Amino acid sequence: MSTTPQLQHPVRPPTVKRGASLERKHARFGWVFLAPFAIVFLVFLVLPLVYAFWMSLHTNTLAGGEQFAGLANYVKAFTDERFLSGMVRVAAFAVVFVPLQIGLALVFALILDDIRTRLSRFTRLLIFVPYAIPGVIGALMWGFLYSPSFGPLVTVFEFLNTQAPDLLSRDSIFWSLTNIVTWQWTGYYMIIIYASLQSIDPAIYEAARIDGATKLQTALHIKVPIVASSLVLTVVFSLIGTLQFFTEPQVLAPLAGNAIDAAYTPNLYAYNLAFSYQQFNYASAISFALGLMVFLASIIFLIATRKKSGLR
């Protein structure tokens, strides 16, 4: 009598099962650690944005109450002369702010990267300190310095027996704000570029030195191209920050008289519409219109510089 051998199912190695179980366990722990941030992110960012967008699609009047308006608030925003003039103004600020801040930050970073002394460390800290000062405090401090009635400029010009210039007038306010923002943000961008310079292999500098390259040639033809991606990053940060310009004009508005009005920048316009004129629906539409413009400007810049920066 012959017997047919029975095929046995292959037994799964226990190590594979334990490995999968361990991965699931790690995944659960990962979600536990992410949960606090995810909750805060949803409650304080996503939900307010969704609610603000819902408000931007409605109108609220005393006679009709709240009604669905579709894109009417957005049509009104993109034909609102005050909003458009504010966009033109922040675009003008961006044309001045961005090259000035990034140019100074790059020069400071290149100099500090080349000089390795205790003085360079102190100088690096000194340039970075304005960024550590809250924007409101910085604007108040500069408002005091600019004041033509009670600031130190009055004392200096009285000593010279002449009248102090009004740096908060309509003709001067653009450059006064430019000075504040450049003073506050240049150190932050310098640190980003400086950190990128520190990651360059010193052997590259040695090879350039052996080839007879001067320090200026090394900076222009080796350092700057290598840190191009960091430069693009800082330009995007500066561009977004400029288009959302708010704190400095808001703080200086009471001191600057008629030079800074309620619609000086789009962010300031949205703020005053909401909290001075109680037009929350239209203020939400202005905010989303500004967000759209910032998004488009950032995307266009990233696409235009993609090849040179190496970013994808």
Per residue in 170-215, pLDDT tens? 889 999 999 999 999 999 999 999 999 999 998 998 898 898 889 8
Span of 149-153, 181-185, 233-237 with lowest mean pLDDT:
149-153
The reply to whether 226 and 87 lie within a common domain is: yes
Task: Write out the residue range of the structural domain in which residue 199 sits.
Answer: 79-309
**Is 22 a member of any domain?**
no
The reply to whether 58 and 136 lie within a common domain is: no
β-strand pairing of 58-61 with 65-68: antiparallel
The reply to whether 235 and 254 lie within a common domain is: yes
Per residue in 94-125, pLDDT tens? 999 899 999 999 999 999 988 877 788 888 88
With a cut of 80, say whether residue 18 has pLDDT above it.
Answer: no
CB under 8 Å to 247, separation ≥6 — which residues? 135, 136, 139
The reply to whether 53 and 201 lie within a common domain is: no
The reply to whether 155 and 56 lie within a common domain is: no
In whole angstroms, what is the distance from residue 267 CA to residue 243 CA? 9
**Distance from first CA to last CA of the chain, Å, rounded?**
73
CB under 8 Å to 204, separation ≥6 — which residues? 222, 226
* DSSP letter for each residue of 57-101: TEEEETTTEEEE-TTHHHHHHTT-HHHHHHHHHHHHHHHHHHHHH
**How high is the pLDDT of residue 131?**
93
Per residue in 57-83, pLDDT tens? 999 887 778 889 889 999 999 999 999
The reply to whether 101 and 145 lie within a common domain is: yes
In whole angstroms, what is the distance from residue 48 CA to residue 280 CA? 13
In whole angstroms, what is the distance from residue 51 CA to residue 44 CA? 11
Q: Taking the CB of residue 281, how many other CB atoms lie within 10 A of it? A: 24
**How high is the pLDDT of residue 11?**
55
In whole angstroms, what is the distance from residue 290 CA to residue 133 CA? 27
More confident residue, 150 or 250: 250
**Residue 14: which pLDDT band, with cuts at 50, 70 and 90?**
low
CATH code of residue 166: 1.10.3720.10
The reply to whether 134 and 232 lie within a common domain is: yes
In whole angstroms, what is the distance from residue 236 CA to residue 288 CA? 19
**Is 19 a member of any domain?**
no
**Is 93 a member of any domain?**
yes
In whole angstroms, what is the distance from residue 249 CA to residue 247 CA? 6
Domain boundary among 68, 92, 121: 68
Cα–Cα distance list, 230 to 127, 199, 223, 297 (Å)? 19, 12, 11, 18
- Average pLDDT over the chain, rounded to an integer: 87
Cα–Cα distance list, 34 to 39, 56, 120 (Å)? 9, 31, 40
**Residue 2: which pLDDT band, with cuts at 50, 70 and 90?**
very low
In whole angstroms, what is the distance from residue 229 CA to residue 234 CA? 9
Tell me the H-state helices in the chain.
Answer: 14-41, 47-56, 72-77, 81-114, 118-132, 135-146, 152-159, 173-198, 202-210, 215-218, 224-226, 228-243, 247-252, 266-275, 280-304, 306-309
**How high is the pLDDT of residue 102?**
94
**How high is the pLDDT of residue 311?**
56
In whole angstroms, what is the distance from residue 256 CA to residue 62 CA? 35
Residues 262, 276 contacting (CB under 8 angstroms): yes
**Is 265 a member of any domain?**
yes
The reply to whether 165 and 41 lie within a common domain is: no
Domain boundary among 42, 68, 94: 68
With a cut of 60, say whether residue 263 has pLDDT above it.
Answer: yes
HEC-encoded secondary structure of 264-295 = CCHHHHHHHHHHCCCCHHHHHHHHHHHHHHHH
Q: Which residues sit opposite 67 in a β-bridge? A: 59
CA atoms within 13 A on the CB side of 68: 1
Q: Taking the CB of residue 249, how many other CB atoms lie within 10 A of it? A: 23
Q: How many domains does the chain have?
A: 2
